[in-house]
Amino acid sequence: MASHRKSRTPGTRVAGIRTPALATAALTSVALLSQTANASPGEDRPSLEEVEKKVGDLYRQAESATEKYNAAKEKTTKQRKRVDTLLDDVAQRTQKLNEARAELGSYAAAQYRTGAGMPDTATFLLAETPQDIFDQRQVLDRMTGRQKAAVDDYVTQQTETMKKRQEATESLQTLTETQGDLKTAKATVQKKLADARELLSKLTAEEKARLAAIEKRKQEAAARKAAELARQQAEQEQAREEAAQQGGGTSEGTGSGSGSGSTETPPADSSYGTKAEKALAFARAQIGKPYVWGATGPGSYDCSGLTQAAWKAAGVSLPRTTYDQVNAGTTVPVSQAQPGDLVFFYDDVTHVGLYIGNGMMIHAPKPGTYVREESIFYDGDSAIHSILRPA
C-alpha cells in the first residue's frame, strides 16, 4: 500500500479483501462488555479503552455486513432483470411455437384434403397428366420439408427455452438464499450492537466520563493529523506554483505517499474541480441526515450510498458498494488528496467518505449517527486504505 500507511496484522483475504469473523468477534465483544458492566468493584475489569475498541470493531463489522448486503442486493436486482428478459423471451418463443404448431396443423389438414397423407402409388395414379404427378410430388416434398423444419425449430426452441428458464430459476434462487443469509447476518450484528449499547448504558457515570475523554483525545489527535496534512498540501501547492512561475514544469508526485501504479499523480483538471464542487455541495446538503442500513437517499444514507449519490449529482455514475467504488478511478497519495476525492478505510474496504480538504471529509459514519464532517484520521492514519479520484 501507500507509504503513509502503517503495517497491519495479516488476515485471511478473499480476492484482496479481508473477511471479518463476524460471529466470533461479536460474541467476544459482548462477553467483554458483560464483564465490564457486571463485574463487582473488586474484580478485574477490562479497560475502557478495550471496551471502546471492541464496540468500534462491532460497528465496523456491522458496516461490512451492510456493504456485502448491498452487493448481493444489487446483484439480485440485475439477475431479476435478466430473468424477466428470459421470461419475455420464453413468451415470445412460446408464441412462435404455437404458430408453428398451427402451421403443422394446416399442413396436416391440407394433406388430408388432398390425400397427400397417403403418398402411395394409387394416389399418383389419380393424376390426369404427367405434369399433375410432377406438381403433386413437388407439393408433397415441399410440405414434408417445411414440416420437418418446423418440428426441428419447435424442439430446438423448446429445449433452449426450458434450459434458460431453469438457469434463471436456479440463479435467482441462489441469489435469494444469499440475500437471506446476509439479512440474517445483518440482524445478528444489529442485535449485538443493541446488546453493546445496553451494556454500555449500565456503566457508571465515572466510566462514561472516561469514555468521553477517550473519544475527545481521539478527536484531538485526528485534528492534529488533519492540520499537518493541510500544511503539507499547502506547501506542495506553493511549490507547484513557484515551479510554474520559474518555468520548471510541474511537480506532481512529490507527496509523501505512493500509489500502487506510477510514481507521478496526474493533477485534477478544471473539469474535475467543477464536478467535485457539485458533489460536495450535494454532500453538505445531506449533513444531519441519519445513517441507515443500505440507504441511498434522499432521507438517509449509508457510507457508499452517500458518495454514490453525491457524485451522481455531479453527473458521474459510481458503483453501489465500497468494494466496487475503490476501483472506479485513479488512486492518489493522501498528501495529494483534493476536494471531491473518495477516502476509503480499513483493509476490507468497508467504509468511504468524501474529502473536502484540510484533512476533513463528509461521511455517514455508522449506525446510530448522522452524516457529518470529520477528520479522515478519525480512526487513526493506519485505518486509511486509499484515496481515489473518481472522475
Active site residue 387: no
With residue 102 as reference, give the H or E element that holds it: helix 48-114
Set 164, 351, 385, 389: catalytic member: 351
DSSP label at 117? T
Task: Decide: residue 290, CB within 10 A, 0-12 exposed, 13-18 middle, 19+ buried.
Answer: middle
Catalytic pick among 303, 326, 361, 391: 303
Q: For residues 20 and 61, is the Cβ–Cβ distance under 8 A? A: yes
Please classify residue 336 by burial: count the beta carbons closer than 10 Å to its beta carbon, then call 0-12 exposed, 13-18 middle and 19+ buried.
buried
Q: Residue 293: what residue type?
A: W
Sheet with 342-345, side-by-side order of all strands = 330-332, 384-389, 342-345, 351-357, 360-363, 372-375
Q: How far apart are CA 363 and CA 270, in angstroms?
A: 24
Q: Is 385 considered catalytic here?
A: no
| Residue closest to 48 by CA, chosen among 213, 222, 194 | 213
The residue whose grid cell reads 443469509 is 181
Task: Clarify whether 351 is annotated catalytic.
Answer: yes
Q: How crowded is the C-beta side of 81, counted as CA atoms within 13 Å?
A: 5
Q: Of the residues 164, 225, 289, 363, which is catalytic?
A: 363
Three-class DSSP category at 344: strand
75, 167, 168, 185 from 174: Cα distances, Å? 11, 11, 10, 17
Residues with Cβ < 8 Å from 286, sequence gap 6 or more? 297, 301, 306, 309, 310, 362, 371
Among all residues, which ones are annotated catalytic? 303, 351, 363
